[in-house]
Structure 1
Amino acid sequence: MAHAVISCLHANLAATEAVLCDIDQLGIDTITCLGDLVGYGPQPNEVVELIRARQIPSCQGCWDEDIIEGLNSCECSYPSQLAERRGQRAHHWTAAQLSEENKAFLASLPLSLRRDRLLFVHGSPNSQHEYLLPDMNAFAALERVEAAQADTLFCGHTHRPYVRELREGVIKMRLRRAVANPGPDIEREVDLPVRRIVNAGSVGEPRHGGTSATYVIHHEQDDSVEIREVPYDVERTCQAIVAAGLPPLFAWRLRHGFEYAERADDASHVCER
């Protein structure tokens, strides 16, 4: 049995439709969404309503949270103040566009979903806003998975897909004896189990260097994971971004497939919250 995992749709209807069509053509019936249904893109209501109509289980992403709770979380992950202002502009536009019914749906989404030893989150088990990057310290990455009591952790948020196996980990401990019971220190080693982090990338705003939407398929029979890329009508979304009055740079980065920020012009970002 195959199971599709999608993430970071970001109100991009053309990309979402293309990915769901690809999943349907493969005959996959089980889909899990890792959140960020809205944000940046020009069709927030249409994308939310499509996920609702398909009854796709979804956890809450950082954009989904911020639309409901307001911009209260620290967003120092923005690489510059100019990038943060664009994000704020998109936030206010999205909040104004979304229907109350769709806002209530986003508010109802859980922070995580679980299927046996598979855990599904947006950013990490700790927060929708935490990035689990592929080069994250191996022990810290293993701690995120092991603390969540999972064998495989599915996440999104980075917009770049990857599969990372955490194996051959060893914790070395040295136990020092109490003064009242002198003697040599006791050394022990604990072998850590193999764990895995799977990032589904992004349907609606890929940043892996290409314009195709990405998602992953988990083949449950052999526990393998496949990263899929799906081309879609990028220009359709870019034209809708400009027509909606959203920052034109959002269209530019969709056409190029990576993040853009004015690091040289504004290198010293200071959080405003």
Structure 2
Amino acid sequence: MKIAVMSCIHGNYEALDAVLLDIDRQKAEQIYCLGDLVGYGPFPHAVVEQIRSLDIPTVQGCWDEDIVEGLNACECSYPSLLAERRGHLAHEWTRENIYPETREFLAQLPLTLKSDRLCFVHGSPHSNHEYLMPNMDAFTVLERVLAIDADVLFCGHTHVPYVRQLEGGQLQVKVRQPELGNGEDCSSFKTPLKRVINVGSVGEPRHGRPNATYVIYDTDTGGVTLREVEYDYRKTCAAIIEKGLPPIFAWRLSRGLEYAEKADDPTHVCQR
């Protein structure tokens, strides 16, 4: 069976519409969404209504959570003070421009979804704010996959698509036992091949082009196709400016960039 997996729509209805048309052309039998339906973009309500109307299984993204729970991240979550100010502006605009039923829908979204040996999350199984970067320590990534007992972990959040294979290997675990004179009990186990598939972003790509990205996955063969879909991003850029959102959002959308800002430690998750 062919399934489509998408993420990070961010209120960009033009991009979502184009991706849904492409999914239909690819004849996918099931669609999953990895959250961040809102934030940054000018059409949060329209995006949520489309996802609801199609009954697409969806997990809660970090922006979806923040709109429901309130913005509770500390300054360490932002790569700069400028990015923090823009983030707060986008949060306030989104919070003020969504309907109560939209907020209720975002509130009931689960943090994870599973289907057989596939798991769907926004950031990681640990937190929807955690970034699983392509060059992240392999042991840490493997621990995240093993924690939810899956063979394939689908995620988003980074806005850059990639496929990473974690080759099967042998892990050794040491347990210190003071009652045995500080001796260590060693045990080991083997892990089969695991994969992490980041589906990129529909509504705010950061891979260097404005095109929307998503993934087609074949559950029978394990085949992965990273899809890149062109759409009229200029309409979304114009709406961003028209609705009073920070103009830099339109600039970076038109270029598929992150505005050259990256956190020192993208895997960091604030504990506050």
Same fold, judged at TM 0.5 (above): yes
The residue number in structure 2 matching 1:267 is: none
> TM-score if structure 2 supplies the norm length?
0.90
| Partner Cα separation in structure 2 for residue 204 and residue 260 of structure 1 | 16
- 1:209 is displaced (CA, Å) by 1.1
**Offset of residue 169 of structure 1:** 2.7
Q: CA deviation at 1:26?
A: 1.6
Q: Normalised by the size of structure 1, how large is the TM-score?
A: 0.90
C-alpha distance in structure 1 between counterparts of 2:75 and 2:150, whole Å? 28
Distance (Å, rounded) in 2 between the aligned partners of 1:179 and 1:104: 52
Partner of 2:162: 162
Identify if the C-alpha distance between structure 1 residues 87 and 168 changes in structure 2 by more than 3 Å, giving closer, same or farther.
same
CA distance, structure 2, for counterparts of residue 167 and residue 127 of structure 1: 24
What does the per-residue CA deviation read over 1:167-194, in whole Å, with 9 as the maximum and x for residues that have no partner?
Answer: 043324568898979x9x8876533221
C-alpha distance in 2, partners of 1:137/1:218? 25
Q: Which residue of 2 aligns with 1:18?
A: 18
Cα distance in 2, alignment partners of residues 176 and 90 from structure 1:
48
C-alpha deviation, 1:76, in angstroms: 2.6
Aligned to 1:250: 249
**CA distance change for structure 1 residues 167 and 75 in 2, over 3 Å: closer, same or farther?**
farther
Partner of 2:231: 232
Q: Which moved more, 1:19-28 or 1:185-194?
A: 185-194
The 4+ residue runs of structure 1 with deviation greater than 3 A are: 172-181, 185-190
Q: What's 1:152 paired with? A: 152
Q: Which amino acid aligns with 1:159?
A: H
**Aligned residue number for residue 241 of structure 1:** 240
Amino acid at match of 1:88: H
Using the alignment, how far apart are the partners of 1:136 and 1:123 within structure 2?
13
Residue 138 of structure 2 corresponds to which residue in structure 1? 138
Match of 1:66 in 2: 66
Q: Work out whether residues 168 and 194 of structure 2, in 8 Å CA contact, stay in contact via their aligned partners in 1.
A: no
How many residues end up aligned between the 2 structures? Answer: 264
Identity of aligned residues (%): 58
C-alpha spacing 1:179/1:120, structure 2 compared with 1 (3 Å): closer
In structure 2, runs of 5+ residues without a counterpart are: 263-269
How far 1:75 moved relative to its partner? 5.9
SS in 1 for 2:32: strand
Look up the equivalent residue of 2:161 and give its one-letter code.
P
Q: Which protein shows a greater Rg? A: 1
